[in-house]
Structure 1
């Protein structure tokens, strides 16, 4: 049975890496299989979803939704930006790291991202990777700094181990963060400078259809003056399902032609002067009166891997997609037939019901303030932020458990009207609960089956002859590899039972091994698709994957070395 359990874990990992199946689906199915074959008792299976640490994580996410509505964060972001690139970067890196130690790092990045994209003094590509990296590093310093720490804590509690305190992670996290923040400031000088470039590989990809009654029909590209547009480039032309690329100046236009452009958000209005040209089935003149905004597709988006036509995007969101941007990559084909990917930046023409749509927060990080939910007043902001900080301090000194403090604060927000049950329902992290609850059941199955014994025997035979430190290093790099290929929380869920089994095989204190999982799961610096804040900045910064690899490699090395040296010193194995 132990071999079968290990094979099931391997199958789960392959599924997460090689397929588009969501982690929530994969983990839940495997946990259900364990339940059906009596590897996990029903009571244990259900207790995984009511774990106290997991409940605390849910409350923290819901409170973060209220905090995000505070205008103080947006005002602070504008204050941080400076005409000097070095000054702006230093302020952004230090502030985002400090805020991310106590707030949800996606909320921190979202607040600063809007202001960075609106300013014109410094190229966003010079600031956004440092912003994302700093938010990750700030998160490793406290229990509430990142969901990964709370997830690992939930596994520890479920395994009968001592619960981590608010600042248990700080003894190693703070020196590691300071070292890596210094490294970020150094490597930032080598980041790309994508500043208002007008090239063939532009930021947005959009399509427009030529109406049958357009006076442009029957005339070539040169005559219709489509060659030299202000900020737009005619990339391709689709006619009756066939793609014409490149488009020659003497190509004669026909009714129903789909014109495919690349260009910037501010240059879409260039299409206004062409009669009979429609975007999203509307005349361009009418479309330009719509509310245009930018939105990044989240890592949990329901629309990911589907085309606009398949999901009927307009009906779902009361919005139409005018353009798509995917990092610095040039897309090909008709816009409506391109599968939407996590991290894509969409240019939307939104209707009146867009801001009230429940699915918006789950699918998008908005880069425009125009359609975000109503902001808190200054007084309400001070009350909420003050209440949150009081809760953190009370938990840190042992005066009030974090769960009780957050529950009390959420109740106050509901009673005072600072949030509503509808907003909380929209923000509820259903998929995260499914992943962690199912992973706790899977961890039980691994621990109480022969699988744990097989893992222990392997390390006793092949590793224990060397040193417990080698085993510690192994679990750290295993988790790091997982977090770069799947998600950080899924990586923690997969690595925790293995780490606990290894610690037990050496009769060692499990704390350093558990921390290796926590720090390893947050060591996502190389690939933008494994961490949510990286996805948020990937397309707005017009980055390539290679940009993250070049910037992240030295940070990843510095991070790994410092964690592997400091953790056993602060938390000895024996």
Structure 2
């Protein structure tokens, strides 16, 4: 009884903090499993063993090995043919290609690699393609055991609960149906996406800041005389002069030393500003230039959310200067230093060489262009990397070599051949994922072992008993979907699995359909840009509004849910 009360208190606190605070899930899960250890619910050795779960190790290795896959020329070559044809054929080709790639590699990496090609395509508006790119990456992840982290996590939970390991293609029948129905739905829904074309006045461009230095030839001359009214794809929107803010800038406005000029426009036109004597885009004490720019998107788990660049000590923290910001359709005002960062903000950085050595880049930023995706392998090396990866998967699927061993050997080979560098492994190592999943496995085992999950399932049995196993199955799926939209997909799987497993035992049916409900429910993130990383990645890139996710995401979620709830009991009977 003592154990149940203590664990219930810990779990309620965990759930409350996940929903009600901005504390990173990794910290919360680590604190929860730590509290279990301090209160005597789990021994140290048992707690640490959870972090050596084979499914978790496989997931970590897949994330690291994907660094080498990203560098191949396959996706780059593929992207060149995607924009050919009308909009529907382009969405279809993009969806099929993205889904296939996402079923075998990290879907975040697939989206990160394709996003630039989609944005730069000469035929269609990026806003018509980027959200379908994200959604088909999510759908493609449901096709195989390794397609998404949640499938591997749920497999780890199942093994720890005493179930047989899930097979590589156990997800494929339902996943293929979900992907097909989802892609067809997207072909109908794409017409409702905004057409934020390059010449559309509603598109919000980047917000760029330049400062007039002492001795500049711009001083004492008007905006018009300096030629600042006729810049290609850049518009002078404001001037900050001491505490004064000048908007609707007149062509006759005379510039002074120290004026901060605020431009809006295409980031590719920023180098034009360097042609003006004494106008510094990067007015920073560090050695930073705009010859090489890096685009990042602020993660929803960033510790800098709500802070200005000055409060966050951004330059000191990341060894990079922010030269431009874009936030969806919100029109920003005032200097860059006064803008409070939000999740989904696109930042253009002028990095110093040491920027790439900052340890927490991947935790702070969802997508980084020009960092890990800038150097690609030649065709020969690309073929070798892809072939070795396919062989490793084949041996694992056939049961000849365990996947975890094959991936470990493959990673060592990539390191020895220079395909993947040690500093890249350090930078990309998914520490937060390791902490969340390792802690969640321990918490799930405790919930089952102490009877807490059984008590929750008994309460649900009392409420849902008249609806039978299928009614409880629907409830578990919907609960997981709600969790994944409101928090994160991995946390949703961790919270739902022990209840789902105990509910199946309470009904005396096979737990497998309930486990599948958790796996597919944790991947059902379509309504919010913040529930899944790929959704957040395309948020600013496509100049989307929240209503765009709602307009397309709600019907997508309904179609997805109906397909899953219909097929899982057929493919995996309750018995």
TM-score, normalised to structure 1, is 0.91
Match for residue 392 of structure 2?
Answer: 391
Higher mean alpha-carbon deviation, 475-484 vs 118-127, is at: 118-127
Evaluate the alpha carbon distance shift between residue 235 and residue 11 of structure 1 in structure 2; reply closer, same or farther with a 3 A threshold: farther
Paired with 1:393 and 1:543, the residues of 2 have a C-alpha distance of 40
Task: Tell me which residue corresponds to 2:12.
Answer: 10
CA deviation after TM superposition for structure 1 residue 443, in Å:
1.6
Residue pair 1:211, 1:278 contacting (<8 A) in 2 also: yes
Q: Which residue of 1 aligns with 2:123?
A: 121
Give the structure 2 partner of residue 86 of structure 1. Answer: 88
Instruction: Give the match's secondary structure for 2:322.
Output: strand
Q: Deviations over 1:171-210 (max 9, x none)?
A: 2111111111111111112211111136476221122233
1:154-193 mapped onto 2 (5 Å cutoff): 154-193=156-195
My pick for the range that moved more, 134-143 or 356-365, is 356-365
> Which position in structure 2 is the counterpart of 1:500?
501
Q: Distance in 1 between matches of 2:400 and 2:282?
A: 57
> Structure 2 matches for 1:56-71, cutoff 5 A?
56-71=58-73
C-alpha contact 2:290 2:350 (8 A) present in aligned 1: no
TM alignment of 1:474-513, pairs within 5 A: 474-513=475-514
* Residue 571 (str. 1) matches residue 564 (str. 2): no
Structure-2 separation of matches of 1:421 and 1:269: 34
Q: Partner of 1:560 in structure 2?
A: 561
State the partner residue of 2:432: 431
Aligned match of 1:458: 459
User: Between Structure 1 and Structure 2, how many residues are aligned?
Assistant: 572
> In 1, are the aligned partners of 2:241 and 2:258 still within 8 Å (CA)?
yes
Return closer, same or farther for 1:287/1:173 CA change in 2, 3 Å cut-off: same
Query: For 1:332-343, what aligned pairs fall within 5 Å after superposition?
Result: 332-343=333-344
What is the aligned partner in structure 1 of residue 29 from structure 2?
A: 27
Q: Provide the rounded CA distance (Å) in 2 between the counterparts of 1:35 and 1:367.
A: 37
2:79 matched to which residue of 1? 77
- Distance in 2, matches of 1:391 and 1:174, equals 23
- Find the counterpart in structure 2 of residue 327 from structure 1: 328
For residues 60-90 of structure 1, the C-alpha deviation after alignment (integer angstroms, 9 at most, x for no partner) is: 1111111111122212211322153333222
Partner Cα separation in structure 2 for residue 508 and residue 264 of structure 1: 59
Confirm or deny: 8 A CA contact 1:83 1:122 kept in the other structure.
no
Determine if the alignment matches structure 1 residue 541 to structure 2 residue 552: no
Unaligned runs of 5+ in 1: none
The Cα shift of 1:145 comes to: 0.4
Q: Deviations over 1:404-445 (max 9, x none)?
A: 221121122223332233222222110100011111222233
- With over 3 angstroms needed to count, the CA separation of the structure-2 counterparts of 1:365 and 1:28, relative to structure 1, is closer
- Residue 378 of structure 2: aligned partner: 377
- Contact 1:93–1:131 (CA under 8 A) maintained in structure 2: yes
SS in 2 for 1:509: coil
Change in CA separation of 1:224 and 1:416 when aligned onto 2, cut-off 3 Å: closer
What is the RMSD computed on CA atoms of the aligned residues? 2.8
Query: Residues 252 and 451 from structure 1, CA distance in 2 versus in 1: closer, same or farther, beyond 3 angstroms?
Result: farther
**Aligned-pair distance for 1:247?**
5.5
Separation (CA, whole Å) in 2 of partners of 1:241 and 1:2:
60
**Alpha-carbon shift at residue 555 of structure 1 (Å):** 0.9
Change (3 A) 1:371 1:139: closer
Task: Give the Cα–Cα distance (whole angstroms) in 2 for the partners of residues 182 and 201 of structure 1.
Answer: 28
Q: Distance in 2 between matches of 1:224 and 1:6?
A: 68
- Distance in 2 separating the partners of 1:182 and 1:393: 30
Select between 23-32 and 43-52 the one with higher mean Cα deviation.
43-52
Q: CA deviation at 1:44?
A: 2.2
Extract unaligned runs of 5+ from structure 2: none
Residue 231 of structure 1 deviates from its aligned partner by 2.6
- 1:314 aligned partner: 315
Contact 1:198 1:231 in 2 (8 A): no
- Once the two structures are TM-superposed, the CA of residue 277 in structure 1 deviates from its matched residue by 3.0
Deviates more, 1:268-277 or 1:190-199: 268-277
Q: Which residue of 2 aligns with 1:131?
A: 133
- TM-score relative to the length of structure 2: 0.91
Pairwise mapping of residues 388-427 of structure 1 onto structure 2 (< 5 A)? 388-427=389-428
Q: Which residue of 2 aligns with 1:264?
A: 266
Q: Secondary structure of the equivalent of 1:442?
A: helix
User: Taking structure 1 as reference, are residues 410 and 464 closer, same or farther at Cα in structure 2, changes over 3 Å only?
Assistant: same
Structure-2 change in CA distance of 1:435 and 1:305 (3 Å)? farther
> Which is further off, 553-562 or 206-215?
206-215
Tell me the CA shift for residue 222 of structure 1.
Answer: 6.9
The alpha-carbon deviation at position 563 of structure 1 amounts to 0.3
